[in-house]
Amino acid sequence: MANLLWLQGGACSGNTMSFLNAEEPSACDLVTDFGINVLWHPSLGVELGENLKRLLDAIVSGEVALDIFVFEGTVVNAPAGTGEWNRFCGRPMKDWVADLAKVATFTVAVGDCATWGGIPATAPNPSESEGLQFLKREHGGFLGKEYTSKAGLPVINIPGCPAHPDWITQIVVAVATGRGGDLTLDEFQRPKTFFTSFTQTGCTRNMHFAYKVSATEFGQRKGCLFYDLGCRGPMTHSPCNRILWNRVSSKTRAGMPCLGCTEPEFPFFDLEPGTLFKTQTVMGAPKDMPTGVDKAGYIKLTAAAKAASPAWAEEDLFVV
Amino acid sequence: MVVPALADLTASAETRECAVNDDDGKREEIKALLTGGLKIEAFPRADTHEAVQAIVAQLQAAKGDLKARLAIGGFTLTPIEHDGIEQSCETCMYYKVHRRYCELPELEVPVEPEWSCRLWRI
């Protein structure tokens, strides 16, 4: 039996909604098949008020073991570092986070807000938000660079806006079944099993990417979304086109550009008007190149690929 | 799900064919305008995102006016070399190779591969 506690800071509950939609395994499977005891969760917990405070105090004192501490949302420090804008059970949430992280065997940050600060931490960041161990790309965050949970691991970051349901439950199951030590994390503490390949990996528009045929308007079923509509699939680490959403689709498959939500800089360009669904260019070339590609190589490749593109690549293949 | 009748599909194929045939006439018209001394703004090139947005906004205002679109877009019948790169329609991301057509929604004009405009992007 592994005790799990889930708390929310500066959050929209999107990751909770995602978690409750998990299928492989489902949230119920965690309890019935994998021996996870959900001590409390904002949407599932039955304790309220003083009863919940007593539970949290018991966890902090060590009377109740905390095997997995899941945090969703930012750590809110406003105003002036006090955290008073986000109070929970009689004190600032950030104080609970600090105390609970000390006694947790594993600490898991779910969603962009908990991992890197996400949208709330976008400039000018009025809520003084930060992630558990990062603020955007900067290592440290609320718990500091040196933090490790009792298992010796740093915060396990499962980013996304929201994180895919199965990324959450599969990592929780790995930890609960004693395989937490097998997890390998990348430089941003994301499990490599999910965050090594790109969103583009498995995208149904890859042939249009290869032949440099662009989608120029939403709703077009032909064309790659990278060249004009701001898609970040070639430089975003996520398995969105391998572990499909609702088992059937993904943003890019549905014609929606990837917003790069599993990367620390999300939302990109501080949400400046005109930046969200438009590929930013410098001297006519994309400002952000596909990972590992330089500008000179990109230009040569693009010119050659476009010249070689077959006629069918410019048409809608997915006819009724 | 709405399934179009076979007749509809045939009609849309015919419409497409007509559009392609119309391209040749339009291309000749553009060529005549450009060789006839139409004043165009080939510079400054759209080097930044802000410059692109500004030119696109002007094009949106010009709507169906072909001469205005050619002028604002800065069309030339030969490639412009800028920052060491030859900016021809042929390599532009909006260019449809087989139809020889610029698919930028604000332009939507038939072109030739060696033509150029200041919204070129790769």
- Model pLDDT, residue B17: 61
Of A141, A176, A194, which residue is a domain's last?
A194
Q: Flag whether residue B93 sits within 8 Å of chain A, measured between CB atoms.
A: yes
Provide mean pLDDT across the span A122-144.
Answer: 97
pLDDT at A100 over 80: yes
Residue A32 structure tokens: 């019935």
Between A218 and A212, name the one with better pLDDT: A212
Annotated binding-site residue? A89: no
For residue A276, what is the domain's CATH number?
4.10.480.10
The ipTM assigned to this model is 0.78
pLDDT at B19 over 80: no
Residue A25 structure tokens: 């395994």
Of A148, A165, A194, which residue is a domain's last?
A194
- Considering CB atoms only, which of B48, B53, B120 is closest to A282? B48
Provide mean pLDDT across the span A205-211.
Answer: 93
Tell me the nearest-neighbour CA distance from A90 into chain B, angstroms: 48
Q: Flag whether residue B89 sits within 8 Å of chain A, measured between CB atoms.
A: no
Task: Give the pLDDT band of residue B2 (cuts 50, 70, 90).
Answer: very low
The answer for B 47-76 residues in CB contact with A (under 8 A) is 47-49, 52-53
Q: Which residues contact A315 (CB under 8 A, 6 or more apart)?
A: A222
Provide mean pLDDT across the span A51-55.
Answer: 97
Comparing alpha-carbon positions, the chain A residue that sits nearest to B119 is A284
Q: Are residue A143 and residue A225 in the same domain, yes or no?
A: no
Q: Are residue A145 and residue A225 in the same domain, yes or no?
A: no
Q: Are residue A179 and residue A201 in the same domain, yes or no?
A: no
Per-residue pLDDT of A253-308, as tens digits, reads: 989 999 999 999 999 998 888 888 999 999 999 999 999 999 999 999 999 999 99
Annotated binding-site residue? A161: yes
Q: Are residue A138 and residue A8 in the same domain, yes or no?
A: yes
pLDDT at B20 over 80: no
Query: In A, which residues are within 8 Å of B87 by CB distance?
Result: 284
- Model pLDDT, residue B120: 96
Query: In A, which residues are within 8 Å of B98 by CB distance?
Result: 309, 311, 314
State percent of chain A over pLDDT 70.
99
Is residue B7 helix, strand or coil?
Answer: helix
Comparing alpha-carbon positions, the chain B residue that sits nearest to A279 is B49
Q: Are residue A13 and residue A58 in the same domain, yes or no?
A: yes
Q: Are residue A218 and residue A257 in the same domain, yes or no?
A: yes
Q: Are residue A222 and residue A260 in the same domain, yes or no?
A: yes
Per-residue pLDDT of A223-266, as tens digits, reads: 999 999 999 999 999 999 999 999 999 999 989 999 999 999 99
Q: Are residue A120 and residue A71 in the same domain, yes or no?
A: yes
pTM of the predicted structure, to 2 decimals = 0.89
Q: What is the mean pLDDT of chain A?
A: 95
Contact B45/A275, CB-based, under 8 Å?
Answer: no
Between B71 and A317, name the one with better pLDDT: B71
Annotated binding-site residue? A28: no
Provide mean pLDDT across the span B104-117.
Answer: 96
pLDDT at B1 over 50: no
Number of domains in chain A: 2
| Backbone torsions φ then ψ of A30, nearest 5 degrees | -55, -40
Q: Are residue A67 and residue A82 in the same domain, yes or no?
A: yes
Interface residue of B10, B59, B93 to substitute, partner A, most A CBs within 10 Å: B93
Annotated binding-site residue? A113: yes
- Model pLDDT, residue A274: 83
pLDDT at A316 over 90: no
Of A135, A166, A194, which residue is a domain's last?
A194
Half-sphere exposure in the Cβ direction for A270 (13 Å, CA)? 6
Give a yes or no: residue A319 inside a domain.
Answer: no
Provide mean pLDDT across the span A180-193.
Answer: 96
* Domain membership of residue A105 as a residue range: 2-194
Q: Are residue A256 and residue A161 in the same domain, yes or no?
A: no
For residue A70, what is the domain's CATH number?
3.40.50.700
pLDDT at B14 over 70: no
Provide mean pLDDT across the span A195-200.
Answer: 98
**Of A23-37, A100-114, B3-17, the least confident:** B3-17
Q: Are residue A121 and residue A187 in the same domain, yes or no?
A: yes
d(CA A297, CA A237): 22
Give a yes or no: residue A26 inside a domain.
Answer: yes
Q: Which residues contact B88 (CB under 8 A, 6 or more apart)?
A: B79, B113, B114, B115, B116, B120
Comparing alpha-carbon positions, the chain A residue that sits nearest to B120 is A284
Give a yes or no: residue A320 inside a domain.
Answer: no
Give a yes or no: residue A318 inside a domain.
Answer: no
CB-based burial label for B3 (10 Å; 0-12, 13-18, 19+): exposed
pLDDT at B11 over 80: no
| Backbone torsions φ then ψ of A74, nearest 5 degrees | -80, 160
Q: Flag whether residue B31 sits within 8 Å of chain A, measured between CB atoms.
A: no
Q: Are residue A272 and residue A203 in the same domain, yes or no?
A: yes
Q: Which residues contact A249 (CB under 8 A, 6 or more apart)?
A: none
State percent of chain A over pLDDT 90.
90
State percent of chain B over pLDDT 70.
84
